[in-house]
Amino acid sequence: MQDKNERGLVGDFFCGAGGASVGIEEFGVKVDFAVNHDQTAIRLHSRNHPSTYHMTEDIFTSEVERFVAGRKVSLIWASPDCTHFSKAKGKTPRKQGIRMLPYAVYFHAAQIHPEVICMENVAEIQGWCPIEDREDVPGFGQPVKSLTGICYKCFVTHMSHGKLEPDGRIADAPAECRRFCDKCQVVRDGYTKCLGYDFDSRELCAADYGAPTTRKRWYAVIRSDHRAIRWPKPTNSKNGVGLPAWVPASSILDLDNYGQSIFDRKKPLAENTQRRIAMGIRKYVLNGEEPFIVHVNHSGDGFRGQSVNEPLPTMTRKLGMGLVSTKTMQIEQFLTKFYKSGIGQSIEEPLHTITTSPGHFGLVSVKTTDKGSLNQADRAVLERAHQVSQFLMLYYGSDIGQSIDKPLRTIVTKERFSLITVLHDGRVLLDIHLRMLSVEELKRGNGFPDDYDISHDSRWHRIPTAEQVAKIGNAVVPSMSKAIVSANCPYLYQHDRVPFVQVSQQQNGQFSFA
């Protein structure tokens, strides 16, 4: 008879970049096996978790049962692909096959009987429903709104306790659901029993658990051992009342790297990008005291950004964050966004959600100098200050219909290069710099430790930057898997995580240890 506290196997399904595994190991539990169909993901995971057994197989046909071979399985973590549930998917037709991936958890749970299952996905999974498959019907390829949440209810019923019809359908399914059930993999493959797990789920924000990002996700804890399901207590709070404040984005940014002036580019910045920067300068420099982040990778024209003192937002598959700095001999910075909506963020907030797309965040740095120092300034400095003034006048005037005289003061003279527009606390804005956030900054922003390497796979093949960002944007925030597993499986603790030893290949072909 197995000891209830005996440690069984621990697995990571849909392992990706390894965020869930990192968190589990940071708690002190070794991940024994990992599964993903993507070879790049497996090789990346293998590079950072060399003692884990890796399976590069389709999640539905993976021979996990053969590997387990009747051994006890204490825990599996599963983060199925969320792109076809996410609001970020927009109007793009959804793929029903990808939306069925959560049922891979049911499939394997029925085979290997893990005691505890932890799941992570976007909050929209709770609205999981059939996809309209009739091409002549409006909404083809889109979720059927009248059936919102029915597939999610079906999944929860199959995993837990509930009433099923003999063919596996949930007993109280709406009549409209019937035409989809006949084609559903659940019915077709004969998933006809409830597994009897206890099931609970919540939406949690990573910034509340010490991560420098406000990424918010749906988490489920599903267990068969009749122990209580426990949710971790927050370790941080937005306002720092009663708990330490959220970890700011500034903690993971290289604030000494300003990037290039927005006025010195061979290819001018897009109109919407310029508009967002201008709106961010108004909020975070002229009306504030901090740098900000610009979010750039989207089509809207409103300001997207955040202070660098906020956590990072959810990361996507694309590089979309740039650090904006308004230069002087004094530098003020903020983050601007290139996706979604908003007014950027202070660098003293956690980074907003990091996406899977490159180019979604920018660091804006604004140069300023004392008004008196302009008497000794050369023509180039005055010309650049004039450009800054014209730039801000253009966007403040046309976009929000308010003169720069409120709350700013414009000094106008007849001399062209003496048109010094913007005074801020007795200082003149001289230049504006913008750069995108680096992969390393995004990695740290999603909570990965510095020693975690996503630049190369286990075969020393370099992973393209866009793919690195995609892996980061899809990754589980490590502090979340650590918090949830430690709250529910404290008896699995083995030893503290040993930092990964970085090995770099030099140009001469030799290897060195970091």
* 270 and 228 together in one domain: no
What are the distances in angstroms from CA 96 to CA 6, 82, 133, 142, 351?
39, 12, 9, 10, 32
Same domain as 468, residue 422:
no
pLDDT the model gives residue 11 = 97
pLDDT band at residue 300 under the 50/70/90 scheme:
low
| Percentage of the chain modeled with pLDDT above 70 | 70
Structure tokens at 326: 């308004």
For the record, the structure tokens of 283 come out as 């909020």
Q: What is the pLDDT of residue 224?
A: 96
Between 180 and 263, the higher pLDDT residue: 263
Examine residue 81 and state whether it is found in any structural domain, yes or no. yes
Report which listed range, 53-67, 308-322, 370-384, is most confident.
53-67
**DSSP 3-state assignment of 232?**
coil
Residue 443 placed within a domain: no
pLDDT in tens, 323-375: 666 554 577 788 887 766 656 788 889 888 888 777 678 888 887 766 555 55
pLDDT for 119-128, tens place per residue? 999 999 999 8
The residue ranges of DSSP E strands in 73-130, in sequence order, are 73-78, 116-121
Whole-number pLDDT of residue 306: 66
In a domain, 446, yes or no: no
Same structural domain for residues 359 and 482? no
Question: For residue 379, is pLDDT > 90?
Answer: no
pLDDT top residue among 278 and 98 = 278
Q: What stretches of 49-174 show up as alpha helix (H) in DSSP? A: 64-68, 96-99, 102-112, 150-159
Per the model's pLDDT, the better-predicted residue between 114 and 293 turns out to be 114
User: CA–CA separation, 370 vs 140, rounded Å?
Assistant: 61
Nearest alpha carbon to residue 391 among 433, 331, 340: 433
- Confidence grade of residue 99 (pLDDT, cut at 50, 70, 90): low
Residue at a domain's end among 393, 408, 437:
437
Amino acid in position 312: L
Of 399-413, 431-445, 479-493, the one with minimum mean pLDDT is: 399-413
**Phi, psi values for residue 25, rounded to 5°:** -75, -30
Q: How many domains does the chain have?
A: 2
At residue 513, the pLDDT reads: 45
Residue 170 confidence (pLDDT): 75
Residue 80 confidence class, pLDDT cut points 50, 70, 90: confident
Instruction: Give the pLDDT band (50/70/90) at residue 451.
Output: very high
Average model confidence (pLDDT) across the chain: 78
Does the structure show a pLDDT above 80 at 469? yes
* 442 in any annotated domain: no
Same domain, 307 and 395: yes
Report, as an integer, the average pLDDT of 44-48: 94
Strand partners, 198: 223
Q: Classify residue 80: in a domain, yes or no.
A: yes
* Whether the Cβ atoms of residue 218 and residue 411 lie closer than 8 Å to each other: no
Angle between helices 39-48 and 19-27 (to 10 degrees): 20
pTM over 0.85: no
Q: Are residues 135 and 168 in the same domain?
A: yes
**285 and 156 together in one domain:** no
Highest mean pLDDT, choosing among 52-61, 116-125, 434-443: 116-125
Please indicate, yes or no, whether residues 430 and 456 belong to a single structural domain of this protein: no
| Least confident window among 31-45, 104-118, 130-144, 444-458 | 130-144
Q: Which of 403, 437, 471 is the last residue of a domain?
A: 437
Does the residue 243 lie in any domain? yes
Lowest-pLDDT choice from 42-51, 204-213, 297-306, 359-368: 297-306
Share of the chain above pLDDT 90, in %: 34
Return the structure tokens found at 278.
């201008």
Same domain, 299 and 358: yes
CB proximity list for 66: less than 8 A, separation 6 or greater: none
Q: How confident is the model at residue 416 (pLDDT cuts 50, 70, 90)?
A: very low
Look at 289 and 164; give whichever has higher pLDDT: 164
More confident residue, 221 or 185: 221
User: Could you say which of 383, 406, 437 is where a domain stops?
Assistant: 437
Q: How far apart are CA 401 and CA 95, in angstroms?
A: 44
Q: Which domain range does residue 331 map to?
A: 260-437
**Tokens 């508009």 appear where?**
275
CA distance between the termini of the chain: 47
Question: Do 181 and 283 share a domain, yes or no?
Answer: no
Q: Is residue 380 part of a domain?
A: yes
pLDDT at 87: 55
403 occurs within a structural domain: yes
- Band (pLDDT 50/70/90 cuts) for residue 452 is very high
**Is the model's pLDDT at 252 over the cut of 80?**
yes
Are residue 220 and residue 267 in the same domain, yes or no?
no
pLDDT on residue 407: 29
Tell me the two tokens of residue 456.
């190369």
For 299-303, 315-319, 409-413, 418-422, which range has the lowest pLDDT when averaged over its residues? 409-413
Please determine, for residue 405, whether its predicted confidence score (pLDDT) is greater than 50.
Answer: no
393 and 287 co-located in one domain: yes
CATH of the domain at 138: 3.40.50.150
CA distance 195 to 488: 20
Residue 54 identity: H
What residues contact residue 406 under an 8 Å CB cut-off, 6+ apart?
none
Write out the two tokens for 312.
Answer: 């990072």
Q: Are residues 19 and 45 in the same domain?
A: yes
